Amino acid sequence: MGKKADIELLIQGVNLGFFFTKKDDSDKESLTEKLDECAGQRQLFQQALKSLLVLIKDFSFDIKELDADKFKKQMDTLSGEFSLSNKISRIEAAFDSGKDAIINYINNKKSYFKERENELKSIIDLLTKGLSVINEENIEFNQKIYDKSIAIGNITLLDDIKKIKDSIKSEVEHMQVVIREKQTSGQRQIEILTRELNALKCDLEKAQTASMTDGLTGAYNRLAMDNYLEKLVDKSVISNAPFALLMMDVDNFKKINDSYGHQIGDSVLVALIRQCKELIRKEDFLARYGGEEFTLILPNASLKNAVKKGTEICRAIELSCYVLGEKFGDQKLSFTISVGISTFQKGDTVKTVTERADNALYLAKKTGKNKVVTEKELK
């Protein structure tokens, strides 16, 4: 029974457990307005709570020791309860559970940062001791220079001008040797530290890149895609920023592998990514979703723009031809892809927006392949 039907029953005095007297039309309109206002307030509160949960997730940082991924999933679950549940008791239970999770995480975070603060103090103490050693070396160097200056000063006590000249020359030469040794030692230490720092920086960049990219195609991997999409959804919850998700799959890929071998199959995937990179913007996010399936995320793109881009990629792949090499008599191979597209909608999660794109892709494969299907075509 709908909201207006409930109002009619109340106004007509139907017995719903209480006795009501019949009201005039003005009371009916007033009650309808209040119910509409309550519904609007409820939606506003839901959106505000979801936005706050997104901000809390950002506050969590990506700290493995604090199990940040688990905490983020808890916040996503809580956000889903606020969106889907209409029962006050269920929402209240979810809020109590989520509140405890937030408090526990904050307490753990405080303890973690306290431990890191203590570790930082230890590092500062260690550096201080290291600086004191360097300072001792400088004191020793300064002492040598001072001794030489005293020696030069004492030379003036000599009577013979030639002896004074020869002695000054000798002491200055000794002083120059000491200074050069100090400069060489300092420069050598700087060069060693610079090389070690550059090597560490290079290793870190390689490790970061390797952890985010697919080893075969050079596209982003599934983990990087999940993290990027989660951040994009969170951003869109707060700012309603649009984005489109394209799921792309190589048609008849098993047949290619069976006919030519996995090495040629791998080359097909590499060729697909190379072709896509030539057609997308710098800010677009291209990732290998799994097997022969890839995702393309277009920030700030409408469904119309996403269809245009998906169609462009489809046609470019279809019109391309690849030489297989001497082993296959320089035979040429062509292949096609199917594309499913979804866009971010109000109330979406990573799961829902991905599922719609995946279902659209399935429909594209089912209805002929080598085509673009959008979420609008899903029944």
Query: What are 244's strand-pairing partners?
Result: 298, 343
Q: Which of 92, 136, 230, 292 is catalytic?
A: 292
Residue written as tokens 């001008």?
Answer: 161
220 φ/ψ sector (left φ>0, alpha ψ -120 to 50, else beta): beta
d(CA 369, CA 374): 13
Span between the terminal Cα atoms of the chain, in Å: 26
Cβ distance 91 to 99 under 8 Å? no
Amino acid at the residue 61: F
d(CA 183, CA 189): 10
How distant is the alpha carbon of residue 306 from its chain centre? 22
Annotated active-site residue 292? The verdict is yes
Cβ distance 286 to 228 under 8 Å? no
Q: Select from 255, 277, 249 the least CA-distant residue to 358.
A: 249
Phi and psi angles of residue 219, each rounded to the nearest 5 degrees, phi first: -75, 170
Catalytic residue list: 292
